[in-house]
């Protein structure tokens, strides 16, 4: 059907709109539209190159869609029957542009958080530490290494955008594990290993295994079983952080969840355990592996500062019953057979005894002052150095400032080799 004047006017406007979105998309080809060249250079080659290649692919696809849309609009100027398809194509192009922009903005903001030489060094160190902690377990699971991009942002808790999940742009799969570290924990980054734990759990089938382990441990109490099993994902991540950094991970976690307004609350649908129970579980993990120690004092401080009687009556009894079962729950967490590890528990894949106070004291004694300056120690014991600094900060409150300063100096020195 020959297009009339009105159809031609609509088609011409569709062509104009399409040209606008294509021109805007073309600017995405320059990675510096989203982050500076120094920031991109600070991302290790094995992360930066595949990430930039992936982002270019989704931009190229967007531009191809845009050019095809322009062609449809031009065809509609001649053929009125082509107009509806051209109109749908323009709407699809608009949506696709927004999805690609969201993807690029996310990674651009992450890379751009490396705003100074000190932050670049710290985040490069976190990249290497996360890669090392994940690599140890993935190698045992027969899985290829997963690149890590860490970034810093505001807030109380860390988060992860896991590798191999779909991004905002349709058909786009995340090529890296993007881990957010919050500023208050940047130099005490035990939460980094919690987030890595989520990635490892997804690869190894850990969460269903932990759900089964918790179900068995609480088989005689349906209410507690229903309470604890939906928390398996977050608990697995907490256990992964504990296995790598010991008591330091527990005190750092408490600093996040220890808000008087929320620590005794159980929001419906929240995948995180009640903060009170989550902290007590961390203390029980320490006690189960290391015996008695400073975690006993932390537990006493928690239950004294936030007695369960302050909880909502509908939750209070479950908190008290859970507290009585915490040793068994901790055992179930450490002993859950993980399919991706051939049925072995995480405590066999990553021995938490390596970050016991005694083991860390021996590391400190044997390495001496070189522990904080030697590239060798940074490379081979970086994770345990994080555990040691966090332990000392926790057990020596009068020296906490000095240990925080030491950790910052260590993390902003020459980056660790991944």
122 in a domain, yes or no? Answer: no
For residues 14 and 316, give the distance between their C-alpha atoms in angstroms, rounded to a whole number. 61
pLDDT of residue 89: 95
Q: pLDDT tier at 53 (50, 70, 90 boundaries)?
A: confident
pLDDT of residue 414: 60
348 in a domain, yes or no? Answer: yes
- Do 131 and 90 meet the contact criterion of CB atoms below 8 Å apart? no
Give strand pairing partners of 159: 180
For residue 115, the surrounding DSSP H or E stretch is none
**Comparing 158-172, 192-206, 355-369, which segment has the lowest mean pLDDT?**
158-172
pLDDT of residue 49: 80
364 in a domain, yes or no? Answer: no
392 in a domain, yes or no? Answer: no
> Do 103 and 195 sit in the same domain of this protein?
no
The larger pLDDT score, comparing residue 13 to residue 171, is at 13
Does the pLDDT of residue 96 top 90, yes or no? yes
171 in a domain, yes or no? Answer: no
Counting residues of the chain whose pLDDT is more than 70, the rounded percentage is 97
For residue 177, the surrounding DSSP H or E stretch is strand 177-182
For residues 262 and 55, give the distance between their C-alpha atoms in angstroms, rounded to a whole number. 39
Does the pLDDT of residue 79 top 90, yes or no? no
Q: pLDDT tier at 48 (50, 70, 90 boundaries)?
A: confident
Is 152 strand, coil or helix?
Answer: strand
pTM, full prediction: 0.91
For residues 241 and 190, give the distance between their C-alpha atoms in angstroms, rounded to a whole number. 6
Does the pLDDT of residue 32 top 90, yes or no? no
For residues 123 and 113, give the distance between their C-alpha atoms in angstroms, rounded to a whole number. 9
**Chain centre to alpha carbon of residue 207:** 16
pLDDT of residue 418: 42
Does the pLDDT of residue 98 top 80, yes or no? yes
For residues 201 and 177, give the distance between their C-alpha atoms in angstroms, rounded to a whole number. 13
> Do 197 and 333 sit in the same domain of this protein?
yes
48 in a domain, yes or no? Answer: yes
- Do 305 and 292 meet the contact criterion of CB atoms below 8 Å apart? no
> Do 101 and 195 sit in the same domain of this protein?
no
403 in a domain, yes or no? Answer: no
Asked which of 50, 79, 112 is the last residue of a domain, the reply is 112
Per the prediction, the chain carries an average pLDDT of 93
Number of domain units in the chain: 2
> Do 106 and 252 sit in the same domain of this protein?
no
370-392 tens-digit pLDDT: 999 999 999 999 999 999 999 99
Strands 148-153 and 159-161: unpaired
> Do 98 and 220 sit in the same domain of this protein?
no
Residues constituting the chain: 418
Average pLDDT value for residue range 12-38: 89
Full residue range of the structural domain in which residue 264 is found: 189-353
> Do 201 and 332 sit in the same domain of this protein?
yes
Six-digit token pair at 349?
Answer: 């894949």
What residues contact residue 237 under an 8 Å CB cut-off, 6+ apart? Answer: 194, 195, 197, 198, 201
Q: Which of 418, 398, 392, 386 is nearest to 185 (CA)?
A: 386
Does the pLDDT of residue 194 top 90, yes or no? yes
Q: pLDDT tier at 78 (50, 70, 90 boundaries)?
A: confident
For residues 223 and 253, give the distance between their C-alpha atoms in angstroms, rounded to a whole number. 26
> Do 345 and 198 sit in the same domain of this protein?
yes
> Do 199 and 284 sit in the same domain of this protein?
yes
pLDDT of residue 3: 58
Residue with tokens 């939750």: 315
Asked which of 59, 87, 112 is the last residue of a domain, the reply is 112
Is 159 strand, coil or helix?
Answer: strand
Asked which of 94, 112, 130 is the last residue of a domain, the reply is 112
- Do 243 and 261 meet the contact criterion of CB atoms below 8 Å apart? no
309-351 tens-digit pLDDT: 999 999 999 999 999 999 999 999 999 999 999 999 999 999 9
311 in a domain, yes or no? Answer: yes
> Do 94 and 232 sit in the same domain of this protein?
no
């Amino acid at each position: 059907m020959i297009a009339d004047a009105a159809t031609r006017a609509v088609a011409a406007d569709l062509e104009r709109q399409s040209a606008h979105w294509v021109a805007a998309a073309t600017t995405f080809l320059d990675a510096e539209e989203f982050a500076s060249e120094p920031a991109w250079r600070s991302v290790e080659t094995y992360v930066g190159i595949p990430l930039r290649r992936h982002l270019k692919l989704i931009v190229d696809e967007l531009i191809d869609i845009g050019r095809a849309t322009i062609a449809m609009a031009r065809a509609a100027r001649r053929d009125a029957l082509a107009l509806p398809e051209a109109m749908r194509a323009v709407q699809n192009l608009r949506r696709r542009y927004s999805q690609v922009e969201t993807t690029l903005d996310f990674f651009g903001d992450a890379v751009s958080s490396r705003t100074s030489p000190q932050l670049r060094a710290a985040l490069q160190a976190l990249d290497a530490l996360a890669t090392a902690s994940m690599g140890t377990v993935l190698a045992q699971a027969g899985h290829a290494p997963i690149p890590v991009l860490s970034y810093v942002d505001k807030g109380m808790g860390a988060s992860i955008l896991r590798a191999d999940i779909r991004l905002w742009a349709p058909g786009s799969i995340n090529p890296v594990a993007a881990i957010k570290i919050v500023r208050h924990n940047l130099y005490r980054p035990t939460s980094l290993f919690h987030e890595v734990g989520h990635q490892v759990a997804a690869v190894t089938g850990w969460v269903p295994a932990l759900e089964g382990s918790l179900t068995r441990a609480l088989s005689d109490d349906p209410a507690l079983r229903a309470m604890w099993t939906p928390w398996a994902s977050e608990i697995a991540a907490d256990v992964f952080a504990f296995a790598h950094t010991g008591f330091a991970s527990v005190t750092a976690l408490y600093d996040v969840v220890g808000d008087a307004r929320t620590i005794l609350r159980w929001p419906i649908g929240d995948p995180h355990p009640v903060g009170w129970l989550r902290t007590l579980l961390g203390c029980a993990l320490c006690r189960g592996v290391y015996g008695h120690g400073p975690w006993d004092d932390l537990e006493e401080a928690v239950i004294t500062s936030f007695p369960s009687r302050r909880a909502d009556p509908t939750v209070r009894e479950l908190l008290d019953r859970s507290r009585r079962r915490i040793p068994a729950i901790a055992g179930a967490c450490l002993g859950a057979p993980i399919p991706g590890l051939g049925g072995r528990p995480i405590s066999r894949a990553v021995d938490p005894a390596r970050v016991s106070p005694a083991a860390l004291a021996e590391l400190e004694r044997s390495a001496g002052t070189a522990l904080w300056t030697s590239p060798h120690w940074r490379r081979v014991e970086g994770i345990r150095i994080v555990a040691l600094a966090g332990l000392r900060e926790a057990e020596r409150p009068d020296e906490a400032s000095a240990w925080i300063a030491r950790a910052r100096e260590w993390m902003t020195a020459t980056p660790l080799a991944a």
